Amino acid sequence: MSFITVGQENSATVDIHYEDHGQGPPVVLIHGYPLTGNSWEKQERMLLENGYRVITYDRRGFGKSSQPTTGYDYDTFASDLDIVLDTLQLTGVVLVGFSMGSGEVTRYLSKYGTDRVRKAVLMATIPPFLLKTDDNPEGVDGSVFDQMRTMARTDRPAFLKSFLDNFYNMDMYGGNLVSEPAWRDGFHQAISMSPYAAVACIDTWLTDFRADLPAITVPTLVVHGDADRILPYEHTAKRLPGMIPDMNLVTIEGGPHAICWTHADQVNRALLDFIKS
């Protein structure tokens, strides 16, 4: 297995597990909560078949990466991404972030610029700002996240089960677009996450990205399902037009949060057309 060291916690290094496959222009895929880099399998296969080099990695606290109790904030996540890109000496990159990963892409471009990046893709996006405040009335009430923190602390496996049911909209798509084995694979990825990260990452979802978005000066594609129960469309993607200078929004009708799995054909078509254009 391949690892890149991004930090230190006490006596142990913080190492990021990554996969690097194929030849051609590089595409970096950054996963969402509570999954791992393996969640990109339908996109990775498509990109490899179309002549792209595909890099995936597990965020700190997830999958095969180290599970520290530090660094669960978007400045650190963006720094981890920067170290990955620098270590692999990647240029001309298309950065693709799903859910939490869309925050990494946004903060990275705001903080580190676009020298290495030619295009960006935000899927099931967390920006611009999820928390409802006086100056952000379009956000989600904070009590929702308080309840999630309590559930994650009290019974993490039960919380993740409930989260994934809404992740896939299982009452709508279970048994057709999402098989039971596919759901179990998602749960296996989720339960491998650090128990500390399972709670700590909830706070990161409340990051205010509104000041970061104008710094995204590369062409940007946003893909979001209008039936997303995790990051509801009206609170997230629907608000982005006008906030990112060069942006195209693709709305997946009936798409849950897990559009990369349930609506992979539509997602892959939009992704490939955008990368090629």
Instruction: Please report how the helices 100-112 and 195-204 are oriented relative to each other, as an axis angle in degrees rounded to 10.
Output: 60
Q: How confident is the model at residue 271 (pLDDT cuts 50, 70, 90)?
A: very high
Tell me the backbone φ, ψ of residue 271, rounded to 5 degrees: -65, -50
pLDDT for position 33: 98
What does pLDDT average to over the chain?
98
Bridge partner residues of 30 (DSSP): 57, 97
Average pLDDT over residues 20-31: 98
Active site (catalytic) residues = 99, 228, 257
Which residue range forms the structural domain that includes residue 128?
Answer: 2-276
Please report the pLDDT score of residue 72 as a whole number.
98
Beta bridge partners of 123: 98, 223
Residue 26 confidence (pLDDT) above 80? yes
Type of residue numbered 137 = P
Q: What is the pLDDT of residue 261?
A: 98
pLDDT band (50, 70, 90) for residue 225: very high
Q: Buried b vs exposed e over 169-183: b needs ≥16 C-beta within 10 Å?
A: bbeebeeebbeeeeb
Nearest to 29 by CA among 120, 163, 109: 120
**Mean pLDDT over residues 41-50, rounded?**
98
* pLDDT average, residue stretch 213-234: 98
94-134 confidence digits (pLDDT tens): 999 999 999 999 999 999 999 999 999 999 999 999 999 99
Q: pLDDT band for 70, please (50, 70, 90 cuts).
A: very high
* DSSP letter for each residue of 107-126: HHHHHH-STTEEEEEEES--
Domain tally, the chain: 1
What is the percentage of the chain residues whose pLDDT exceeds 70?
100
Q: Give how far Cα 181 sits from Cα of 35, 73, 105, 163, Å.
A: 15, 32, 30, 17
Mean pLDDT of 188-195: 98
What is the pLDDT at residue 1? 74
- What's the N-to-C CA distance of the chain in angstroms? 34
pLDDT tens digits, residue range 250-268? 999 999 999 999 999 999 9
The amino acid that residue 80 corresponds to is D
Domain of residue 153, CATH code: 3.40.50.1820
Kindly state the percentage of the chain with pLDDT values over 90: 99
The whole-number pLDDT of residue 163 equals 98
Torsion of CA 213, 214, 216, 222, to 10 degrees: 50
